[in-house]
Amino acid sequence: MERFLRTIYQKYLKFSKNRFFNDTRKYSSTLQNLKLSDSILSQFFNNYSKTSFIDFLSNIKTIIYSKNVYDFVLKNSSEDWDLWPYLKFLENEKIIKVRRNGTVSVLKKEILGVIPKPQTEEQIRKKIENKLKIKIKDNDPTTGFFKKFSDFEVKAKWDQMPISQSSAIFVVKKILENIPLKKTFLFVGDDDFVSVVLSLADPGIESLVIDADDQVLECVDVLAKEFKLKIRTKKIDLRKTKNLKEKFIGFLVNPVYTEAGVKEFVKFGKNQLGQDGGLVFLEVGDESIGNRFLFLQDWW
């Protein structure tokens, strides 16, 4: 199915490029006077208008899971001018059908199996409670999710400080809301066990968890086996390993709350993304890092 999506993406680029040429020559009086060649216009398109594969998938995701196609405009802070090409193209390819009231029917049902569906916090909460047979306590740490399956001990030497159960649900909501493809997702450290919460919410998600703490990996393995989750683990020391030799759709880091810690973890994660790029999720406490967010923006 990923191959199909890449084929559709290449078709969309041709469709989008032709539209760019026509619109530019039809509506831009300045460029009409310049009489630019196709070669020059192609450079303009490639440098300023060409959509990346990740953005293409993200836009399709917004359209197929929206209650109304105009949600696309609100989510992307764009105009309907950006929406119409997608609708026309997807209808031409018989992937979707848009009704007059703005609702979308997906004709190519296989796409729904590879593009993760967004979920509300309430939907995620119900799934976790039903599968774990527990009642979520918002302010309790995530380790409380799995007490009957694992005796994980928080270790100060690894700077472990599990987030709250409600925070884990919020993070999973954001991941499902944004990742555009069920391709392997990377967790650079996971003493919060968000990988498990994510896979419980959507069992179709594949993940790799890397950590230097054997017990974190053992606990994730136990839970993955117990609930038949698509999670692999690998012991990695970020100071010694720079490349995992596989590429990911995105990654999550909750690093040591120092500027150096954030840089090291995020840099490592970025090195694991392929040519298409990917989604970066960073958890960092404002109370710990304060105005150093400004310095992070400088190198981001």
Whether 156 and 90 map to the same domain: the answer is no
150 pLDDT band (50/70/90 cuts)? confident
Structural domain harbouring 36: 2-113
CATH of the domain at 222: 3.40.50.150
Whether 107 and 84 map to the same domain: the answer is yes
Give the mean pLDDT of 130-156. 81
* Location of structure tokens 């802070």: 77
Task: Please tell me the distance from the alpha carbon of residue 58 to that of residue 52, in angstroms, as a whole number.
Answer: 10
CB-based contact 266:42 (threshold 8 Å): no
Whether 163 and 253 map to the same domain: the answer is yes
Whether 125 and 270 map to the same domain: the answer is yes
Task: Please tell me the distance from the alpha carbon of residue 42 to that of residue 267, in angstroms, as a whole number.
Answer: 33
φ, ψ for residue 273 (rounded to 5)? -85, 145
Whether 34 and 60 map to the same domain: the answer is yes
* Domain limit, last residue, from 65, 82, 113: 113
Whether 23 and 168 map to the same domain: the answer is no
Task: Please tell me the distance from the alpha carbon of residue 117 to that of residue 276, in angstroms, as a whole number.
Answer: 21
Whether 158 and 228 map to the same domain: the answer is yes
pLDDT in tens, 47-83: 888 999 999 999 999 999 999 998 888 888 777 788 9
Mean pLDDT (the chain) is 87
Number of domains in the chain: 2
The residues, any chain, with a CB within 8 Å of residue 23's CB and separated by 6 or more, are none
Whether 137 and 88 map to the same domain: the answer is no
This model's pTM is above 0.85: yes
Helices (H), 209-284: 214-227, 259-270
197 pLDDT band (50/70/90 cuts)? very high
Whether 6 and 62 map to the same domain: the answer is yes
pLDDT in tens, 199-214: 999 999 999 999 988 8
Torsion sign across C-alpha atoms 77, 103, 100, 8: positive
Task: Please tell me the distance from the alpha carbon of residue 299 to that of residue 179, in angstroms, as a whole number.
Answer: 24
Give the mean pLDDT of 248-260. 87
The DSSP output letter for 277 is B
Whether 102 and 134 map to the same domain: the answer is no
* Domain limit, last residue, from 113, 148, 167: 113
* Domain limit, last residue, from 96, 113, 130: 113
Torsion sign across C-alpha atoms 258, 264, 266, 267: positive
Whether 53 and 187 map to the same domain: the answer is no
Q: Under DSSP, is residue 79 helix (H, G, I), strand (E, B) or coil?
A: coil
Three-state secondary structure along 101-124? CCCEEECCHHHHHCCCCCCCHHHH
Whether 132 and 259 map to the same domain: the answer is yes
* Location of structure tokens 């026309």: 88
287 pLDDT band (50/70/90 cuts)? low
